[in-house]
Amino acid sequence: MSRITSMAAIGLTLLAGAASAAASTPTPPDWSGTWVNSTGLYFSNPGTFRPLQNAGQGTNLPPLKPEFEKRWRDTMAASARGEPTKDAGAECGWPGVPAGNLSPMPHEFLITRDRVGILSEYTGGFRLVYMDGRKLPEDFELSYNGFSTGRWEGDTLVIDTVGLRGDYQLELSGIEHTEQLTVRERIRKVGPDLMENEITMTDPGAFIKPWKATVQFRRMPPDEPGSRMIEYVCQDNNRNGVGADGTTYTLGPDGKPLHGPEK
């Protein structure tokens, strides 16, 4: 075989390999545009958008262990009495995975062959999902977003997340978890402008069994007010403070706390 013939054969082999790889890479669905939560502020009480409205009396209560059940009920009782409760969001922190799904502010998806980025208007949050086949690490630094890997199953994005901190709440009602929490999300379109995220939270430290919840998002029309994501800086005009014990208070117009441990 001549050198020219040999090089041509190698070239055809490389092209065939590239074509095969391209054929095996799923074509991502159209998730363009801006998406906003249409389910509510709670996994436990879908359809509720007002903070702590009927919290703890919903249709999807978490399967908490007794200790965590008591903490949750105590938090809701304190809130009902008008007392300040622990709220990491008062410090303008990112709500964490999977609580970020419940934000009423819009989200966008940035999809490439080996990465999916989830951009949130709230605090300018950005979450990265690795799609390159890497394994979940056995040793990792805990964070609000954890470490996420994903894969396409048809038109469904399946995300597995580990390495989550245990010091934030899973929703505004005060549901706590531990560092053993792992999360699986299955995101897919269920209509031309409707997306669904089926979430399974597994935490042997806090839950009796895995807790499942579903959050839906609607794609906002380009001419709808708020459809363009804007800069959000929580610290601007933030009137929530956090006391030494972690409870929050609200500053009045005079800059002094209206209630709470710092009054």
pLDDT, tens digit (0-9, with 9 covering 90-100), for 1-29:
554 445 445 444 444 544 444 445 678 89
Per residue in 135-153, pLDDT (tens digit) is: 888 888 999 999 999 999 9
Instruction: Give this prediction's pTM.
Output: 0.81
Look-up of token digits 């055809």: 12
For residue 4, what is the DSSP state? H
pLDDT band at 237 (very low <50, low <70, confident <90, very high): low
Q: What is the pLDDT of residue 262?
A: 46
The mean pLDDT of 65-70, rounded to a whole number, is: 96
* Contact (CB, 8 A) for 31 and 109: yes
How much of the chain is helix, strand and coil, in % rounded to 5? 20, 30, 55
Query: Which of these, 244, 88, 97, 101, lies nearest to 168 by C-alpha position?
Result: 88
Cβ within 8 Å of residue 263, ≥6 positions away: 249, 256, 257
What's the whole-number average pLDDT of the chain?
Answer: 84
Question: What span, in angstroms and rounded, lies between the C-alpha atoms of 138 and 162?
Answer: 9
Question: What span, in angstroms and rounded, lies between the C-alpha atoms of 28 and 36?
Answer: 20
Angstrom CA distances, 260 to 77, 82, 116, 243, 244, stand at 16, 10, 41, 8, 11
| Strands 211-219 and 240-242, bridge-based pairing | unpaired
pLDDT band at 179 (very low <50, low <70, confident <90, very high): very high
Backbone φ, ψ for residue 261 (5° rounding)? -65, -20
Between residues 98 and 239, which one has the greater pLDDT? 98
Q: What is the pLDDT of residue 20?
A: 45
Omega cis (within 30) before 63: no
Question: What span, in angstroms and rounded, lies between the C-alpha atoms of 263 and 256?
Answer: 7
